[in-house]
């Protein structure tokens, strides 16, 4: 299993910018009025990469999410598109649920401290 042994940081956004540009060009060329580009969720990244650097899972998840511009927490978490196809491994399912629960705990703590 891969592991995190140092601070997480974005190295180079140019490949992402290029992919977004290609997607926009393809959409314009096809006449599409809407497009969607997905990204791997922080919880799924954490499930596949052992944390050997950050003091807690919550801090690890926050560091992963910090490198992504638009992280949206949702109850579906991608299951609606794949669960009916029986292609979601049970370990991934439980890892996602664990990550969602941990994220909810972190958000609750952070929002409570902001409101205080």
pLDDT mean over 58-85: 64
Residue 68 has pLDDT above 90, yes or no: no
What pLDDT is attached to residue 21? 92
The reported pLDDT for the residue numbered 36 is: 80
Higher-confidence residue: 85 or 10? 10
Is the per-residue pLDDT at 52 higher than 90? yes
Output the pTM of the full model: 0.53
User: What pLDDT shows up at residue 77?
Assistant: 54
pLDDT band at 12 (very low <50, low <70, confident <90, very high): confident
Q: Is 70 exceeded by the pLDDT of residue 18?
A: yes
Percent of the chain beyond pLDDT 90? 15
Contacts of residues 54-61 at CB distance under 8 Å and 24 or more positions apart, as own/partner, are: 54/4, 57/102, 58/102, 58/103, 58/105, 58/106, 60/4, 61/99, 61/102, 61/103, 61/106
């Amino acid at each position: 299993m891969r592991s995190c042994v140092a601070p997480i940081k974005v190295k180079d956004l140019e490949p992402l910018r290029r992919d977004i540009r290609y997607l926009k060009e393809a959409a314009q060329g096809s006449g599409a009025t809407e497009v969607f580009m997905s990204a791997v969720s922080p919880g799924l990244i954490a499930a596949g990469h052992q944390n050997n650097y950050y003091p807690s899972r919550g801090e690890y998840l926050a560091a992963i999410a910090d490198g992504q511009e638009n992280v949206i927490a949702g109850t579906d978490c991608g299951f609606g598109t794949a669960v009916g196809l029986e292609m979601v491994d049970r370990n991934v399912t439980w890892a996602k649920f664990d990550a969602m629960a941990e994220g909810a705990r972190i958000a609750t703590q952070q929002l409570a401290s902001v409101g205080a």
